[in-house]
Amino acid sequence: MRNEESAGADDEGDAGRKTVGIDEQAREATAILSQVLELMGERSEITTTEEDSEGIELAIKGDGSGLLIGRHGQTLDSLEYLVNRILARRVKDAVPITVDTESYRERRRRQLHRMALSMAEQTKREHASVMLDPMPPRDRRIVHLALKTTR
C-alpha cells in the first residue's frame, strides 16, 4: 500500500509537466527569459545560438548587457538558474539552458584560462603555493581544465 501511495505522489508531480522536443524547449526557455527581462525593465532581443541534446544556449542582445552580466557574471548566472528552474517545472526531462550576452561566457573563459596559466607559471618559478579567490563551480572547472593541459 505504501509503494502505491508514493508512486501516485510521483505521478502527481509530473501531471503539470509535458514532454516536448528540443525546439519547443528552446521556445519555452526564450519566452521565460523574455518575461524575466521584461520584469527587470530590460528591453532586449533573445536568440538561440546553439541547440542540441546537450543543451540550449540563449544569447541576449540589448543595451543593458553590463547590468545583465553583473559582477563576474553573477547576474547572468542567476538568470540562467531561474530559466532552468522554471523550465524544469514546466517540461519533463528539460535540457540545460545557458544564458549569455555579448559573448561574455567566452571572454570570461579566456580570461580564466590565461590567469590559470599565469598562476601556474608563478608557482613553478617561485616554488610556492598560490591562493586564488573563491569562484563559482563553472569558473573552477575552467581553471582545472586549463591546468590539466599544462602538465
pTM: 0.77
Under a CB-based contact definition with an 8 Å cutoff, are residues 86 and 13 in contact?
no
SS3 135: coil
Which tens digit of pLDDT belongs to each residue from 70-126?
A: 888 889 999 999 999 999 999 888 899 999 998 899 999 999 999 999 999 999 999
- Find the distance separating the first CA and the last CA of the chain, reported in whole Å: 57
